[in-house]
Structure 1
Amino acid sequence: MILNIRRTLLAAAALLVTTLPASVHPHVFAEARLDVVLNPDNTVRSLRHLWRFDDLFSSTVLMEFDKNADLKLDDSELAEVSKTIFESIGEYNYFQVVTQDGKDVPMKPPANLMANFEEQQLIILFEAEPKEPLQLVGKLDFGVYDPTFYTAMDFTDDANMSVANLPATCTRQVIRPDPDEAIAQNQASLTDAFFNDPAGTDMSKIFATKLELTCQAKG
């Protein structure tokens, strides 16, 4: 299946705690963009995602889904690509990492996911909304990360994690964790998480590149 997302990688979490940088490598690479869209009342309206996949993976998708062998993907073939990716990443919250003051923010599944090909690269676009109104208060983290480590989501520039019309009560920064430091600082909690729930260990919050907003409540 496309993206080849496998729970077996998560089942090896105990080993990843000590060997991740040396032994686990992504097989698919995507240049990502994340736009946090705000409502007029300064609640979060949605997260808009754009992923541009590497040439090798894009070529593989083209070969797999080009049913009429015309070396391009027509609308029906692109629809099948969209459906397959949508189903593949759904159980991983669509690679979204959203927290407020360290607590998970539930997100609605995106209504749809659109696939396209531009300059021989696969492009994926979709938009997701919080399940409940999300106020710009406290520390909010927004990131994109594949918890199976199979796909590397690369934000090549800090400007690719964007929020328009950010109010003056908020500050913005992009956080790029160092994997070695993240493992060293969180080794105990990662080990505990594995033994408590070996099938569901999620290290996204630790390793994801994140857009962090720190917002003060209005007086």
Structure 2
Amino acid sequence: MALLALAGPAAAHPHMFVDTRLEAIFDGGGRLTAVRITWIYDELTTLMSVTDGGYDKDGDGALSVAEMEPLQGFDMEWGEDFLGDFQISRGAEKLALVPGPQDWTSDWKDGHLISTHVRRLAVPVDPATGPLVLKPFDPGYYTAYAIIGTPEITGRSDCTAQVFEPDLTKAQKALAAALDEYNPNQSLEEMGYLMIGESYAEEVRLTCGD
């Protein structure tokens, strides 16, 4: 997550919580071309961001349009090592995405910073060739993404999108295996992150056609 430089090393549980909405976008030929992603940040992360940046100028606990202006694009300046915490796959194949976010928006509502952006596929894909899996996750598990609502589908009427929870038994085993790799003599900086985020990720399975 590119919102704040809050991350600490060796995080074994998430510290930032982001509700996530997904919209699958199809072209006229019925191919998936993009996914619109909405991130709704938890209240604590929002409060820290607004307070540390001094954005609530009048101190009323809300952000006006003018106060929100300097926060436009607050989480859209991605470094080279940040891939957007999002993956589309078909079977064992991970589909290539165009680097970086497009068509982004930024907002504040009811104590939450909210942003949307579009991730485009490098090559549009027809789900008839196999179900697609859309998965938002932070590999280092500093941020936990929770898919909320029913994913939207734009451009086709014969598709279904189902949300699936992670297998927590497998996730706990992945966590235990990752912890076993660490040496107690390592410093926190040397330990780094436990790369277990995908094991704890929710996913959307997108199927189309009869």
Across the two proteins, how many residue pairs are aligned to each other? 195
Q: Deviations over 1:74-93 (max 9, x none)?
A: 66764553444223576332
The correspondence of residues 111-126 of structure 1 with structure 2, limited to 5 A, is 111-126=102-117
| 1:206 partnered with 2:199 | yes
8 A contact 2:18–2:41 mirrored in 1? yes
Distance 1:78 1:207 in 2: 33
- Give TM-score, length-normalised by structure 2: 0.73
How far residue 30 of structure 1 moved from its aligned partner, in angstroms, is 1.8
Report which of the two has the higher share of strand. 2
Alignment counterpart, residue 64 of structure 1, candidates 52, 68, 74: 52
Alignment counterpart, residue 41 of structure 1, candidates 11, 25, 29: 29
Distance 1:60 1:199 in 2: 24
Letter of the structure 1 residue corresponding to residue 170 of structure 2:
E
Percent of aligned pairs with the same residue?
A: 20
Structure 1 stretches lacking a partner, 5+ long: 13-23
Q: Deviations over 1:163-208 (max 9, x none)?
A: 245564x5543221133323548988x79xx9xxx98985454332
Equivalent residue, structure 1, for 2:4? 3
Alignment counterpart, residue 180 of structure 1, candidates 169, 178, 193: 169
| 1:26 partnered with 2:27 | no
Report which of the two has the higher share of helix. 1
How far residue 211 of structure 1 moved from its aligned partner, in angstroms, is 0.8
Q: Deviations over 1:105-131 (max 9, x none)?
A: 111122253221112211111111101
Alignment counterpart, residue 163 of structure 1, candidates 137, 153, 168: 153
Equivalent residue, structure 1, for 2:130? 138
Equivalent residue, structure 1, for 2:97? 107
Task: Tell me the SS of whatever aligns to 2:121.
Answer: coil
Q: Deviations over 1:15-61 (max 9, x none)?
A: xxxxxxxxx22222222111111112111121111121122211111
How far residue 148 of structure 1 moved from its aligned partner, in angstroms, is 2.0
Structure 2 stretches lacking a partner, 5+ long: 183-190
8 A contact 2:55–2:68 mirrored in 1? no
- Give TM-score, length-normalised by structure 1: 0.70
Task: Tell me the SS of whatever aligns to 1:26.
Answer: coil
